[in-house]
Structure 1
Amino acid sequence: MLYNTLRQYEYIVAVADTGSLTGAASLLNVSQPSLSVAITRVEAQLGQPVFLRRKGSSVNITPYGHGVIEGARALLQQAEEIERGPAKAPPFVIGFFEDIAPWYLAPALEKMHFQFPTMHFKAREGRFSDLADDLSEGRVDLAISYDVGFEGRFDRRVVQTIAPVAFLSRDHPLASRSSLELAELTTHPVLLFDEDLSEHFVRGLFDKLRLSPTIKQRVRSLELMRSLAAHGAGVGISYARPPCDVSYDGKPLVTVPISTAEAAADISLIWSALRNPEPRFSEILDALSQL
């Protein structure tokens, strides 16, 4: 807890600069008795004298007081900088949901640097809950993500609606299909992402359709899901679709779109409804909407 105010520290610095209570009182436009009382209170709180004061003579700074005055100057300067605002605008931070960052992060930054050359942009990856916290607490200005888990005071703009896909081994009974319904997957073990909000979203979708899938395994990464699916460990369900049909370990797999209408999900630009928009915020929204 702070017991001394910035104004009181301002008094101390003024006395140090002018060398007297009279000069400091005139500089600050306060009465000398009020100034003297304020300094006495500060010294009482600190437990040591900052000045040696003798009636009718200038004040002397104690050895302890020199350290206090140095700290007070730095504190006042920092407070002034906070009120004045940063001399250089902070970077505009764009957050990306981890699974779609490989598709959007690099093109987004490239577009931003080209279209807004005087601004500084940074990127940040995270899961659903991470991005929601980052937006709420000001670490991220804008997020590109599936609209999952962003409850409360958030605004959004849909940029794309996509359907999920199923990852299957080459010899899976459903591998020859051009599209699949979610209901067709309930007789096969499925692989889901091991993240509360992601799994909650997919399980909620199954519940909505009154389907009861068998969860074979939960995974943390898209490529692990694809690898397990390629080896016949289950059917992976994902909204991210890499352009190749080979897993990281070189095993071929098949990617089949899921055509169930209710399974479609939005990729959105999401931001806190409480943030103070940048002057060019709407232009940034428009530019990112074109990705």
Structure 2
Amino acid sequence: MLYLTLRQLEYVSAVAHSGSLSAAASQLNVSQPSLSVAITQVERRLARKLFIRRRGAPVELTDFGRDYLAQVEEIISLARQLDDPARNQRATAGRLTLGLFEDLAPLHIGRLLNALRSKLPGAEIRYRIADFETLARDMLQSRIDLAVTFDLGLDASFLRRPLASIQPHALMRVDDPLAGLQEVSLRDLGQRALILFEEGLSVRHVLGLFRRIGAEPVVRHRVQALEVMRSLAAHGDGIGITYAGSKSSCAYDGTPLASVPIAEDFAREPVILACPLDGAKSAILNPASQAIVEAFSRE
């Protein structure tokens, strides 16, 4: 027998979207104490906190709560479709704009567009490739509906759904002493000149990894494009650090290139599917999200 009811899940969704128990209670036409008790019952059942509740401050989702809310929204969306079968047909029409972080786009854009067009045959599918800051701004301004990105630069205004966990790689000349290793540690790279991406959050993230081990490497180049990083690394002008993998073992000019995984587990970075909290109820987002999750699960 199911313990949690659809009504309780609607309560969770309403509180998350309103950011306030009183506002959610008014929207749901229930008393605030009743709503508070219902949320507490859900949290006890899950044995995890969904919300951070502080007197005089907005209600905030915990990290677990954000992940749980994404699943709650899917269940509510499915229930609405069952209640209104014509809604499912409407959900596959309309317009969807997918955002992709610029370093992830070359690896994923083709198959994600195919997956979305297959799942939403009546929809107009658009895409935008951008940096972290632009993706976040465009989602909040409703220019982008969903974004495939790393979990960098996003605040509590966004729902996150994990898609993958990526291990960074060090790019270098094929005759570099480290090139023959199965894995390379950050300590091995701490005294080497680095090639990093120009994007501010990306640079701070990578340098933050080195600071965790007490290293302060020199950044020789900051580049905008992966192929520029690969070319510089292949010719020995520094060690490139990237989360954007590539099947090619050569730089753009044909020079052989070594790509060695970085060993530290804390260096792994989740790829997520993000959308703004206030956009999560759009009918087209549920099937679109499912298509993207399924595409990543087939990797």
Normalised-by-shorter TM-score class: 0.5 to 0.7
**Worse-superposed segment, 251-260 or 205-214:** 205-214
TM alignment of 1:94-113, pairs within 5 A: 94-113=98-117
Matched residue, 1:117? 121
Aligned twin of 1:174: 178
For 1:93, the equivalent position in structure 2 comes to 97
Select which of 147, 150, 166 maps to 1:162: 166
1:186 and 2:190 correspond: yes
Can you give the 5+ residue segments of structure 1 that lack an aligned partner in the other structure? 1-88
SS at 1:134 equivalent: helix
CA offsets 1:153-207 (integer angstroms, 9 cap, x no match): 0111000001000101012111111111111101211111111111111112222
Which residue, out of 209, 214, 217, partners 1:210? 214
Partners in 1 of 2:96 and 2:267 — Cα distance? 33
Q: Distance in 1 between matches of 2:159 and 2:280?
A: 13
TM-score normalized by the length of structure 2: 0.66
Query: Among 246, 254, 276, which residue is 2:258 paired with?
Result: 254
- Residue 134 of structure 1 corresponds to 138
Q: Does 1:143 align with 2:142?
A: no
The Cα shift of 1:277 comes to: 2.3
- Which range moves more in the overlay, 259-268 or 271-280? 271-280
The answer for the alignment partner of 2:202 in structure 1 is 198
Is the counterpart of residue 238 in structure 1 residue 252 in structure 2? no
Q: After TM superposition, give the deviation of residue 152 of structure 1 in Å.
A: 3.5
Count matched residues.
Answer: 203
Shift >6 Å, 4+ stretches: none
The residue type paired with residue 164 of structure 2 is Q
Deviation, 1:241, is 1.2
Structure 2: runs of 5+ lacking an equivalent: 1-92
Which fold has the larger relative contact order, with Cα–Cα distance below 8 Å and residues 6 or more apart in sequence? 2
